């Protein structure tokens, strides 16, 4: 959701070519395309976007009840003014086109400079760093987070207002033809190309086509900043724009506008010397990785081109901070949940963060720690009055306001609120015992340094953490959804602590993204989810008779796999006086695990057909070898058997019954057997049998180096003196052992971990709580991060070392390992 100047429904209809129904004079200030994310509903114009698996028109009734009154729709059946007497509707042929046309028209109202950034990687980093480097000199409008898509760009451009004098927008594409529309919306006067990489390559004929599509963004630019070291980028920009635009470039290899003379890395800092207009210039960067250095040089060249003086550049680059691309969810003191979003502060991102907060356990109290918000375009009174309304709508229990601005408007807030002039004053007054069993959102502008508050409230039991990327999980969910028919339902497996990722956090995310069912292994897992506020249907795959009463109490739906379990569950239903309860029938078509076999079906039907205590919600089976081509004939026989047996069952009932047999591998490899439901398991967590390149890694197991010591070759390392040394060795001790899930079979060089981008072997036997690694050929220091598995060293590679499967590794990570969740 984004905020701009006011428009009437009538004026929006005129701009978009739509037809008005109802209240034509409603005034709107904000745009929304997500019914789950609402701020100040009376100011919203909701666009009912329609996609392959979603239809915004379905949520109009709910939005109206929540106070939204203005809608852009493409379905005339939704414009019933008797049902929505206070609403205003704009009927258009295509709601996405209407959103884009409105933003394009809005852009025409402003003549100040607009930077347009594109490339395969680094767009958001460059945008955010330019904001950091320039916000003391300009009033800047920029894309929220990484809003760079066909929807994100118009929402970003809508932020342009008369208070600003510079805009910075990023644009990303995944298909040919998409940049044509984004270019018209942004109309940049100043172009920046970051990097050409592999992202979305599969949707383009080749790298040349992808690049040619991306640089369409620059058609309206006066000048373009880029690096000439990629020959294809250099040649393409010169060929298309060299005659009519100013090309401003930097290079490590050739004379150009900014020529890198030397780069010296010392620890985590990089000292760069360059030639610019025959002058030697130097900066000191607080980073040492190549991607950050490249992005920083691009920003440096932009500042030089804007005539920012050298001393100012040096001073601002020293203050350059890492970009928190994602909200971070951690375990806090006193059984609290912390949500860190302390690098970003504006009204739009506050709404996003509050929505994430509301995805968490709904019965917990909610506390917001909020700093002053700068450059909002509102007066302090207008801004904090709007925030007060937002907090009331989101049911925030307590506000801690930090800063002169928010403190001056303390009387506007009706919730339990306290105010402090600065972060230092708050920390001096902090009583950690005041925070217990609640969700705490820490949301502040960068210069308030709220990371200090996070550190004070974070539970610090273990340096070893499992980082879970919720954005990657949503990407994987959407990938598998893209393989399904729009009508196909989705069951997602969250058993075994969601494959080690954490139960309630993952379930909350999946509920937010409207999956149809969750599935757990045992009743206790389902009870935990219900207690955390999960309301969608939950299937228990391994139900046990002693838990049937609990399952009924918590509305958990059992898998019924034989006659005995069916009769026992019927007894429980009678005992609890319950009728018409959903059950799920398991058929064994070849897995030879749980399930009815073919000759049992008549007996099953005799138990259920005339029984009013339960009804069949679904019939399903398990594929034994869907992930391996060598078993395809067997899989085909399983699918054929399931079709025949389930047909036999469904023919006896007049009500609809869902059918599902496909697992993650099956969804990818046997789409013809979708029936009307599928089960997604390991694929959600980033593992694919056939298209690994389509998925994103979700989990990263990390620890740190506790101690480094020099050990002479005459000595040994670890229990049993198994760590035999061939030379004098630099040994690092890391706080992770087999009690954390770091398998003891990785001892004595069988396993490797990654330190500063370099694989190093395990030395000696892995202990219960610690392990030793060989750092002899690295420049590692105590406190450096160690990657056990993650983006740069996959869990699949670790599984190969152990001669096992990723499932085992993920599910054996101890619960004492802290889970930290990231979400953009």
**In the Cβ-directed half-sphere of 209, how many Cα atoms lie within 13 Å?**
12
d(CA 507, CA 491): 12
Tokens of 292: 């950050």
Where in 313-426 does DSSP place strands (E)? Answer: 327-331, 337-341, 365-371, 398-402, 416-420
User: In Å, how far from its chain's centre is CA 158?
Assistant: 23
Tokens of 483: 């393989």
For the beta sheet containing 190-193, the strands, ordered from the edge strand earlier in sequence to the opposite edge, are 140-142, 166-170, 114-118, 190-193, 223-227, 246-251, 258-266, 269-276, 279-285
Q: Is 384 a catalytic residue?
A: no
Burial 319-331 (b: 16+ CB within 10 A, else e): ebeebbbbbbbbb
How is the chain split among helix, strand and coil, in percent rounded to 5?
A: 35, 25, 35
- For residue 817, count other CB atoms closer than 10 A to its CB: 21
* DSSP element (H, E) containing 823: strand 818-823
- Smallest CA-to-CA distance from 778 within 762, 755, 748, 761 is with 755
Q: Is 719 a catalytic residue?
A: yes
Q: Is 512 helix (H, G, I), strand (E, B) or coil?
A: helix
Where in 424-463 does DSSP place strands (E)? Answer: 438-443
Catalytic residue of the set 66, 719, 722, 797? 719
Tokens of 138: 């300009």
* Long-range contacts of residues 261-270, Cβ cutoff 8 Å, at least 24 apart: 263/293, 267/781
| 768 assigned ligand-binding residue | yes
CA angle 494, 498, 501 (to 5 degrees): 155
- Residue 347 CB burial class (10 angstroms; 0-12, 13-18, ≥19): buried
User: In Å, how far from its chain's centre is CA 712?
Assistant: 46
Catalytic residue of the set 495, 702, 752, 818? 495
- Smallest CA-to-CA distance from 752 within 721, 707, 793 is with 793
Question: Where is the binding site, in residues?
Answer: 593, 768
Active site residues: 495, 719
Question: Where is the binding site for substrate, in residues?
Answer: 593, 768
């Amino acid at each position: 959701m984004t905020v701009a100047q006011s428009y009437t429904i009538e004026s929006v209809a005129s701009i978009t070519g739509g037809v008005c129904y109802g209240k034509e004079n409603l005034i709107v200030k904000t745009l929304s395309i997500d019914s789950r994310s609402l701020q100040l509903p009376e100011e919203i114009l909701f666009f009912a976007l329609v996609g392959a698996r979603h239809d915004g028109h379905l949520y109009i009734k709910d939005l109206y009840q929540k106070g939204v009154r203005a809608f852009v729709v493409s379905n005339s059946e939704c414009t019933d003014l008797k049902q929505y007497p206070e609403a205003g509707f704009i009927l258009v042929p295509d709601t996405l086109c209407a959103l884009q046309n409105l933003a394009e028209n809005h852009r025409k109202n402003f003549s100040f400079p607009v930077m347009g950034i594109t490339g395969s990687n680094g767009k958001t980093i460059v945008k955010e760093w330019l904001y950091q480097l320039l916000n003391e000199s300009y009033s800047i409008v920029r894309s929220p987070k990484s809003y760079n898509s066909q929807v994100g760009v118009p929402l970003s451009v809508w932020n342009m207002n008369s208070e600003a004098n510079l805009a910075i927008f990023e644009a990303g594409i995944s298909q040919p033809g998409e940049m044509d529309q984004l270019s018209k919306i942004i109309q940049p006067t100043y172009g920046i190309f970051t990097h050409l990489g592999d992202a979305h390559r599969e949707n383009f004929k080749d790298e040349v086509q992808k690049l040619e599509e991306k640089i369409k963004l620059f058609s309206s630019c006066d000048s373009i900043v880029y690096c000439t070291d990629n020959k294809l980028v250099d040649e393409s920009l010169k060929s298309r724009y060299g005659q009519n635009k100013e090309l401003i470039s930097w290079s490590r290899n050739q004379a150009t506008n900014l020529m890198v003379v030397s780069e010296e890395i010392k620890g985590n800092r990089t000292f760069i010397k360059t030639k610019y207009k025959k002058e030697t210039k130097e900066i000191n960067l607080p980073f040492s990785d190549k991607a950050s250095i490249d992005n920083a040089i691009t920003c440096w060249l932009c500042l030089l081109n804007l005539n920012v003086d050298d001393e100012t550049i040096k001073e601002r680059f020293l203050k350059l901070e890492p970009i928190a691309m994602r909200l971070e969810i951690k375990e806090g003191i006193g059984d609290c949940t912390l949500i860190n979003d302390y690098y970003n502060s504006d009204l739009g991102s506050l709404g996003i963060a509050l929505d994430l907060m509301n995805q968490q356990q709904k019965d917990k109290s909610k506390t917001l720690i909020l700093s002053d918000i700068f450059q909002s375009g509102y007066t302090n009174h207008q801004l904090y009055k709007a925030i007060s309304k937002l907090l009331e709508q989101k049911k925030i229990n307590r506000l801690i306001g930090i800063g002169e601005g928010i403190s001056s408007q303390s009387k506007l807030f009706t919730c339990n609120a306290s105010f402090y002039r600065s972060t230092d004053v708050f920390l001096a007054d902090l009583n950690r015992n005041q925070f217990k069993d609640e969700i705490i959102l820490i949301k502040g502008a960068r210069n308030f340094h709220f990371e200090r508050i996070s550190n004070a409230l974070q539970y610090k039991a273990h340096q070893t953490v499992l980082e879970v990327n919720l954005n990657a999980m949503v990407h994987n969910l959407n990938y598998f959804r893209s393989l399904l028919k729009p009508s196909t339902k989705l069951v997602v497996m969250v058993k075994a602590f969601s494959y080690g990722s954490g139960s309630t956090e993952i379930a909350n995310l999946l509920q937010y993204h409207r999956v149809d069912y969750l599935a757990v292994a045992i009743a206790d897992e389902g009870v935990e989810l219900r207690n955390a506020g999960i309301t969608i249907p939950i299937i228990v795959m391994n139900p046990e008779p002693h838990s049937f009463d609990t399952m009924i109490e918590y509305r958990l739906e059992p898998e019924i796999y034989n006659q005995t379990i069916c009769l026992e569950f019927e007894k429980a239903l009678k005992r609890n006086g319950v009728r018409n309860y959903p059950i799920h029938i398991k058929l064994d078509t070849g897995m030879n695990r749980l399930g009815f076999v073919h000759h049992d079906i008549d007996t099953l039907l005799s138990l259920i057909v005339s029984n009013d205590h339960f009804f069949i919600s679904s019939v399903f089976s398990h594929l034994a070898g869907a992930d391996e081509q060598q078993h395809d004939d067997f899989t085909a026989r399983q699918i054929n058997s399931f079709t025949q047996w389930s047909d036999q069952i469904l023919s006896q009932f007049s009500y609809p019954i869902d059918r599902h047999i496909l697992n993650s591998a099956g969804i990818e490899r046997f789409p013809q057997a979708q029936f009307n439901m599928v089960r997604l398991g390991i694929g959600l967590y980033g593992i694919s049998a056939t298209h690994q390149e389509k998925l994103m890694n979700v989990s990263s197991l990390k620890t740190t180096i506790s101690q480094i010591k020099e050990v002479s070759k005459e000595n040994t390392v670890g229990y049993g003196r198994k760590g035999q040394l061939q030379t004098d060795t630099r040994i690092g001790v890391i706080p992770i052992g087999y009690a954390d899930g770091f398998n003891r079979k990785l001892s004595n060089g069988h396993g490797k971990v990654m330190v500063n981008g370099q694989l190093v072997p395990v030395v000696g036997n892995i202990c219960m709580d610690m392990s030793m690694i060989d750092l002899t050929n690295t420049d590692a220091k105590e406190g450096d991060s160690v990657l056990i598995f993650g983006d740069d060293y996959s869990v699949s590679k670790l599984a190969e070392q152990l001669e096992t499967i990723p499932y085992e590794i993920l599910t054996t990570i101890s619960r004492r390992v802290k889970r930290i969740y990231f979400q953009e």
